[in-house]
Structures are given as structure tokens and as C-alpha cells.
Amino acid sequence: MAEITIALSKGRIFDDTAPLLEAAGIVAKDNPESSRKLILDTNRASVRLVIVRASDVPTYVQYGAADLGIAGKDVLLEHGGNGLYQPLDLNIARCRMMVAVPEGFDYDSAVRQGARLRVATKYLQTTREHFADKGVHVDLIKLYGSMELAPLVGLADAIVDLVSTGSTLKANHLRAVEEIMPISSRLIVNQAALKLKRNAIQPILNAFAQAVKN
Ligand code: PRT
Ligand code: MG
């Protein structure tokens, strides 16, 4: 019977988390990339993994459906962090949250002239706060993906998106004009679970902290 449930997304977060889990003595019995299972057993009878969408990880942990989770700072800022303890920056899945515009768009003078910008993004909270801090008026357009397309078809003047290599921007003739913040993934813990299951959870936290230092 599993006692500890860890929520994470497949893809880059699973790939970067697997070595940390291994350092905590936890190895998944299936590979989420090839398996269709949503609940993965591990080598430890008391630990299981649940595979969810990256943006759903904080919700599973908030409601205690998972005790622990791994989520990007981008996702945590949009979620708000209610009911979550965030003890550790894992320094994985790193990238930067950026403002980007079409190559020919003069962002600096648009901002200087106080133009009202249309900004397309999946990250409404972070984007709203960024432009409010700058005192720039924006109309936010919520998208769920492929933000890079929006300025190319006249849906928006600018986008806010994550950038790692920069090749997606380049391929779409966009350029980054502002860094909003660096992004990495954090370990998150359900606050009630941490109190009730501390004996099981604390060794995992310690192993992760040690592995991150190395
Ligand atoms: O893909 P899905 O819609 O299921 O969800 P998701 O995109 O939220 O999940 P996933 O697994 O793609 O990303 C999980 C987490 O990885 C994010 O929440 C970030 O914290 C982190 N991360 C790190 C990234 C990137 N790097 C990244 N480059 N998430 C997304 N990207 C995308 C970016 O949005 C853009 O479309 O990659 C593209 C840019 O990459 P470059 O290399 O071309 O600059
Ligand atoms: Mg993605």
C-alpha cells in the first residue's frame, strides 16, 4: 500500500527529476514516455508517482491527492501556491520568462510613448504584474500554447513566454526584449501531509536537498 504519492509531469521535468529520485532511493518501474499508465509504482512499495499535466501538479498537491510534487516557478506563480510548502529550488528545467516581439517592432519606443500593448500569454498573473510594475498599459490575451504565433498573425504586439535556447523565437522571427525572471522547478509539499507524514517525507526532502547541492 503506497503511503507517499509524488506528482510530476513527463518530459523535461520527469527527465531532470529521475536522478534526484534515484538519489532518494526511488526508481519508477515504468517509463512515463512509453507507458500509458498514470500511476507508476516504484521500487519502494510505499512510494508511487502520478503523471499529470505540468500546470496541474500544484493542484494535486494543494488538495492532498499527492503529498509531493515538482513544478516550474512559472506554474507556481500562476497557481498562487495556496496550501503548498515550497522548501527547495531543484535548479532543474531552467529557462527564462521573457517578453518577445516581432523583429521589426520597436518595443522601446512603444513603451516610451505609452502605447497600449496587446500581449498574448499563458502566464496572465506574472504578465499582469510585470507590466503593472513598469506602469505600462496592456490588454492581455490568454492563450494555452504556441504564443509565438500570435504576433505573426496580428493577434498581439508582444508575447510573454519561456525561452531556453531561443531557437523557437528565432525560427519565428521574434526577439526577446525583456527578461521578467529566471525560472526553475521547485519541490512542493502538501502542508498537512508534511505534518502527518513527516517520518516518510523528511528523508526524501533531505535526499533531494543533498542531491541538488552536488
Ligand atoms: O507541454 P504541455 O502543454 O503539456 O505543458 P507545459 O509546456 O507546461 O509542460 P512542459 O513539460 O513542456 O514544461 C514543464 C516546465 O518546464 C515548464 O513549466 C517550465 O518551468 C520548464 N521549462 C523549461 C520550459 C522550457 N524550459 C521551455 N523552453 N517550458 C516550456 N518551454 C517551451 C517554451 O514555452 C517555448 O515554446 O519551449 C519553447 C522555447 O524553447 P527554446 O529552446 O526554443 O527557447
Ligand atoms: Mg510544453
The predicted-structure confidence for 164-186, as pLDDT tens digits, reads as follows: 999 999 999 999 999 999 999 99
State the Cα–Cα distance between residues 6 and 202, nearest whole angstrom.
14
> Where would I find the beta strands (DSSP E) of 52-128?
68-72, 84-102, 117-121
Cβ of 96 below 6 Å from ligand 1: no
Tell me how far the alpha carbon of residue 16 lies from the centroid of ligand 2, in angstroms. 15
Taking the C-alpha atoms of residue 99 and residue 176, their distance in angstroms, rounded to an integer, is 6
pLDDT at 2: 59
Measured from the Cα of 184, ligand 1's closest atom is: 20
Q: What confidence tens digit (pLDDT) does each residue in 72-86 have? A: 999 999 999 999 999
Q: Quick check: 151 and 157 in contact, CB under 8 A?
A: yes
Burial of 53 (0-12, 13-18, 19+ CB in 10 A): exposed
Reading phi first (left if > 0) and then psi (alpha if -120 to 50, else beta), residue 91 is in: left
Distance 177 CA to ligand 2 centre (A): 22
Place of cell 523535461: 12
Nearest Cα residue to atom 18 of ligand 1? 72
All structural domains of the chain with their residue ranges: 4-93+184-213, 95-182
Ligand 1 near 143 CB (within 6 A): no
Ligand nearest to C-alpha 79: 1
**What digits encode the pLDDT tens for the residues 119-155?**
999 999 999 999 999 999 999 999 999 999 999 999 9
Q: According to the CATH classification, is domain 4-93+184-213 in 1.10.3720.10?
A: no
- Nearest ligand to the C-alpha of residue 53? 1
95-182 maps to which CATH number?
Answer: 3.40.190.10
